[in-house]
């Protein structure tokens, strides 16, 4: 198992070409948020933008558009029909898969909610989309209810579970997952041919063959919303053309280091997830 550090970032992260433009820096399509969880879309979007994505397209239920749009003016919005619970309706599947296939990367799950409609949407994104995808939060919970979907997927896939979500994916208790985090993540990645980012005090990143660990981060990040930022960062690098394992490693480390800078400025008690994207520039300054 290898430790991720700044040397890894300096080796992997490429400087922008002199003639870079938004089209050359990747297009990320995000399907996140619902009524009551608009913040998850805002946090993941901000993480993606601060990580250099060229174009960010946000699918969003129309009821929360007035909340999210002013908070993330840099994004392109695709307002979509909600179901009776305020979540994405399955009637949006054709539009979602079309946009996913035309993007360079996809993010699904942050604040998505779990219901029949969102389960159908996650199923479609796994089986009808060929762009690489990051699945987080409720996207993972949808997958856990239909785990064989991962054997039918048509796209490179990164999952970013916390121990509770990992336990649902594996059918184990959280205690069993935490007893051997590396083994749990590696076995899952090998069985389903995915990259797993098992979040925690020491985050494990593995594709089943290569395994890395990130010690960056601190207890101040143990607040709802921090994982949404991580998902956005990881998906941003995936859409910029980095491999799934590279995107996962870069995402885990820069997220943790940005969290450490936020702690240094604001303390572990007072820092918020929204502070993490604003500290990303300090991380990238150390690379170039």
CATH of the domain at 236: 3.40.1190.20
Secondary structure tally for the chain: helices H, strands E: 12, 10
Mean pLDDT of the chain: 97
- Per the domain annotation, does 19 fall within a domain? no
pLDDT digits (tens, 9 = 90+) for 119-174: 999 999 999 999 999 999 999 999 999 999 999 999 999 999 999 999 999 999 99
pLDDT at res. 224: 97
The answer to whether residue 288 scores a pLDDT higher than 90 is no
- Per the domain annotation, does 200 fall within a domain? yes
- Per the domain annotation, does 17 fall within a domain? no
Sequence-distant (6+) residues with CB within 8 A of 1 are: 182, 204, 211, 212, 213
pLDDT digits (tens, 9 = 90+) for 201-226: 999 999 999 999 999 999 999 999 99
* H helices present in 128-240, as ranges: 138-144, 163-170, 174-179, 181-192, 226-239
- Per the domain annotation, does 145 fall within a domain? yes
What are the backbone angles phi and psi of residue 74, rounded to the nearest 5°? -75, -15
94 Cα distance to chain centroid: 22
Whether the full predicted model's pTM is greater than 0.85, yes or no, is yes
Assign 236 a pLDDT band (cuts: 50, 70, 90). very high
Strand segments (E) across 98-226: 105-108, 133-135, 157-159, 195-198, 203-206, 211-214
Secondary structure (DSSP) of 246-267:
HHHHHHHHHHHHHHHHHHHHHH
Number of structural domains the chain divides into: 1
CA distance 208 to 182: 10
């Amino acid at each position: 198992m290898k430790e991720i550090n700044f040397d890894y970032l300096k080796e992997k992260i490429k400087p922008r070409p002199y003639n870079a433009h938004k089209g050359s820096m990747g297009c990320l399509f995000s399907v996140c948020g619902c009524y009551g969880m608009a913040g998850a879309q805002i946090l993941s979007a901000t993480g993606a933008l601060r990580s250099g994505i060229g174009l960010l397209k946000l699918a969003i239920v129309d009821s929360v558009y007035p909340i999210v749009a002013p908070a993330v003016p840099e994004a392109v919005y695709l307002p979509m029909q909600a179901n009776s619970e305020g979540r994405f309706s399955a009637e949006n599947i054709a539009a979602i898969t079309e946009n996913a296939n035309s993007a360079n990367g996809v993010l699904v799950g942050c604040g998505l909610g779990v219901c029949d409609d969102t389960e159908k949407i996650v199923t479609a994104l796994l089986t009808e989309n060929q762009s690489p995808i990051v699945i987080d939060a409720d996207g993972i919970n949808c997958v856990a209810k239909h785990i064989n979907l991962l054997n039918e997927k048509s796209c490179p896939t990164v999952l970013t579970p916390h121990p509770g979500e990992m336990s649902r994916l594996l059918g184990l208790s959280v205690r069993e997952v935490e007893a051997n985090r590396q083994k749990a993540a590696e076995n899952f990645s090998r069985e389903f041919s995915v990259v797993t980012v098992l979040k925690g005090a020491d985050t494990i990143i593995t594709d089943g063959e290569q395994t890395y660990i990130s010690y960056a981060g601190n207890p101040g990040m143990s607040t709802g919303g921090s994982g949404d930022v991580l998902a956005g960062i990881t998906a941003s690098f995936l859409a910029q053309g980095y491999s799934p394992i590279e995107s996962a490693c870069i995402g885990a480390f820069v997220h943790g280091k940005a969290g450490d800078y936020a702690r240094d400025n604001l303390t572990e008690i007072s820092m918020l997830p929204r502070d993490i994207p604003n500290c990303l520039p300090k991380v990238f300054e150390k690379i170039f």
